Structures are given as structure tokens and as C-alpha cells.
């Protein structure tokens, strides 16, 4: 039994959900997203502002797809109504970010600034030089862009320098100096 797939999705008043063939389009105040249901063993229907997903069999693959599609559509509804955002923090002396035109310029210890190009439907904010906020309506795209920015200079375990998520914990290691020198 898919517990996630069986949960009904309440559709808020300001959200419009349309079903054509095997596509679910969600339109709201922030934009529009579409999810294509590629497996015909998953059925869906709208009744009284509630979207319900069901499946045709209890095979393991069908159960997992049941929960997957329900989660994707639920994320789309939240995205077009509220949106998603990820906050990144730059740690280290001289590490800073700025917006240049529509692109993001990051100085993080390299000999040159790193320019991260603008991604369609994603907004960047730099409230201060050590914080980057990535926001948009597509949860997967916001997460992927934030991960790509973090991958420019991931936090290292000795001094903690690099780009990290706001709530990320970086496990620190002791350096060479912490090891006792009782050798030859």
C-alpha cells in the first residue's frame, strides 16, 4: 500500500488544475507547471477540489509510480502558489557573491571569478555578499541549481571554507598539527 500515493491533494482556490490525456497542468499566481503521467496504470481524477490518484495493480513498480506522481503534482501545486527557495552561504575570507546583469558572479578562492549563468525560471538574490538565495516554482530545478552552485566550491572539512547550504552541518577534521609528534 502506497501511503503517499493514497493521500488526496487539496487544491487551493487560487490554483487551477487541468487534465488533458495523460498530462496534469497546474496554473497559479506564480506560473504554470505540467507533469506528464507516462504510465497508464496510474489513474487520477478531480472531484470537489480534491485530486485523487489510484493504481490498477499492486505490483511494486506501480506502487512506487503511484507515490511518485502524487508527490510531483503536489510539489507543482505548492510551487505555483508559494514557490521554493534554497539559501546558500559562502564561508571563508574573500569569498563573496554578486549579481552581474542577470548572472551570478562568485569569488571563492580561485584565481578568477566564477560566472554562473542565469537559468530560465530561476531567480537569484544576494542580500549580502556571503548569502545566495535561489528561488523558483519548480522544486527539482531549484534544488539542482543550488547543488550546481554548491559544487563550484564545496565546503572542505579542515577549515570549513566553501559554499554550503544555510542549514548544512560540515563535519570538521583535525589537521596535521593536532597529531602528536612522538616519533624519531
What domains sit in the chain, N to C, each tagged with a CATH number?
Answer: 3-81 (3.90.930.12), 84-165 (3.90.930.12)
Find out whether 155 and 161 touch, Cβ atoms under 8 Å: yes
Burial class (CB in 10 A: 0-12, 13-18, 19+), 31: middle
pLDDT on residue 73: 93
Each residue's pLDDT tens digit, 93-116? 999 999 999 999 999 999 999 999
pLDDT, mean of residues 66-71: 92
Mean of all residue pLDDT scores within the chain: 91
Backbone angles phi, psi at 62, to 5 degrees: -70, -40
pLDDT on residue 88: 97
Find out whether 30 and 79 touch, Cβ atoms under 8 Å: yes
CA dihedral 172, 177, 179, 184 (to 10 degrees): 160
Q: What is the CA radius of gyration of the chain?
A: 22
Each residue's pLDDT tens digit, 10-65? 999 999 999 988 899 999 999 999 999 888 888 888 888 899 989 888 888 998 89
pLDDT on residue 76: 95
Three-state SS at 57: coil
Find out whether 161 and 109 touch, Cβ atoms under 8 Å: yes
**Strand blocks (E) in the chain:** 9-10, 16-20, 23-28, 31-36, 42-47, 50-55, 84-91, 96-100, 103-107, 114-116, 122-125, 131-136, 162-165
Assessment of whether the complete model's pTM goes beyond 0.75: yes
Each residue's pLDDT tens digit, 124-153? 999 999 999 999 999 999 999 999 999 999
Burial class (CB in 10 A: 0-12, 13-18, 19+), 167: exposed
Amino acid at each position: 500500500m502506497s501511503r503517499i500515493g493514497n493521500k488526496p491533494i487539496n487544491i487551493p482556490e487560487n490554483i487551477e488544475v487541468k487534465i488533458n490525456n495523460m498530462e496534469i497542468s497546474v496554473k497559479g499566481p506564480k506560473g504554470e507547471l505540467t507533469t506528464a503521467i507516462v504510465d497508464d496504470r496510474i489513474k487520477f481524477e478531480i472531484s470537489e477540489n480534491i485530486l485523487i490518484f489510484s493504481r490498477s495493480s499492486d505490483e511494486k513498480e506501480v506502487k512506487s509510480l503511484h507515490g511518485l506522481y502524487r508527490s510531483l503534482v503536489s510539489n507543482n501545486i505548492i510551487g505555483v502558489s508559494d514557490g521554493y527557495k534554497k539559501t546558500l552561504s559562502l564561508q571563508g575570507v574573500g569569498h563573496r557573491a554578486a549579481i552581474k546583469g542577470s548572472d551570478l558572479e562568485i569569488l571563492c578562492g580561485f584565481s578568477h571569478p566564477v560566472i554562473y549563468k542565469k537559468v530560465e525560471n530561476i531567480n537569484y538574490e544576494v542580500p549580502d555578499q556571503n548569502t545566495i538565495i535561489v528561488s523558483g516554482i519548480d522544486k527539482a530545478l531549484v534544488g539542482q541549481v543550488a547543488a550546481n552552485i554548491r559544487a563550484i566550491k564545496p565546503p572542505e572539512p579542515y577549515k570549513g571554507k566553501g559554499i554550503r547550504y544555510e542549514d548544512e552541518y560540515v563535519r570538521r577534521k583535525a589537521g596535521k598539527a593536532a597529531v602528536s609528534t612522538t616519533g624519531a
